[in-house]
Amino acid sequence: MLQFIVGRVLWFIPTIIAIAAVTFIIMNLTPGSPFQPAGANNLREDIIKNIEKQYGLDKPLPVRFVIYLGKAARGDFGESYTRRPQKVNDIIARGFPVSLHLGAMALGFAIIGGVSLGILAAVNQNGFIDYASVTFAILAYSLPSFVLGFLLLLLFGIWIPEWTGWRFFRIGGWQSPRDWILPTIALGAGPFAQLARYTRSSMIDVIRSDYVRTARAKGLAERKVVLKHVLKNALIPVITLVGPLFAALGTGSFFVEQVFRVPGIGQYFVTSMTNKDHPMILAVVLLYGVFLAAMNLIVDIMYGVIDPRIRLGGG
């Protein structure tokens, strides 16, 4: 196990370098200057060249990439082009903990609710609970998070207070736990439905296995069959989704953060894309890459914990 973990961690290095190289090349091949945003007053060409020289953009592309990697390895992601003189590190330090907090709550909501709903649907296959859960999952999965966010704001921020005079949720903000509930539901609804569908499908496949029929034939209680024999094996494909989901949710959601005015990193990333803020874009992409690689490693380790028959690393 230790050898497998060390090997995977070492593979992080070329993976992250490749992600940085691809992102760096694509950004620099995009026409236009980050110091001449669309819709702004046109600057003279000589002024733009002086600014680019100040930030080292006059150097050849390979040289700039090597310089960037050296600084990034020391944890220095440079200065934001569009939010000068703010450092990218400071922007991420402000926004990432908020996005991570929101993403963790959304994933917890999705795992607890989605897996529970999937189990109920599989155990009651072709029953009312099964049909209701499948309908709910399809609706939640097909509804975009920002649309659901607006619906939640209308329902709990306007309609219910007007009908009852009772207002528990504020329309936006991130000051207290009651501000966390609606964004968590809006962000976690899609993963909730996805995990419910995967859990149901995986549970049904395992329930039809021969060893489950044997366990029932021996007279084991249905609850013990489901929890001990079915659930443990059915969760393996479900866990595969958790790592990428957490990486996606934990690094910010522009739409949900905008709708609920959450001061996370998602809003910075999207505005940086439109403004060609290269240091900010690269930092967030690298952060996502590291996060995704770490989550996939944790998922692989959990495989061995859930089912000891799985031998990681081909051992």
pTM score, two decimals?
A: 0.79
For 266-282, write each residue's pLDDT tens digit.
777 777 877 788 888 88
> In the block, which residue shows the tokens 């690269």?
282
| Domains of the chain and CATH, by start | 96-265 (1.10.3720.10)
pLDDT, residue 108, reads 92
pLDDT at 37: 57
Q: How far apart (Å, rounded) are the C-alpha atoms in residues 112 and 30?
A: 43
User: Which residue carries 């494909």 as its tokens?
Assistant: 237
3-state SS, residue 115: helix
Q: Which residues pair with 87 in a beta bridge?
A: 79
The answer to whether residues 291 and 250 touch, using CB atoms and an 8 Å cutoff, is yes
If the chain, 315 residues long, is cut into consecutive pieces of 10 residues, what is the mean pLDDT of each piece? Answer: 73 85 84 63 71 78 87 86 84 89 91 90 86 86 85 85 79 82 90 90 84 79 76 78 80 81 82 82 86 79 66 49
Helix pair angle (88-123, 266-275), 10° resolution: 120
Distances 31 to 37, 38, 41 between C-alpha atoms, Å: 12, 12, 18
Res 49: pLDDT: 77
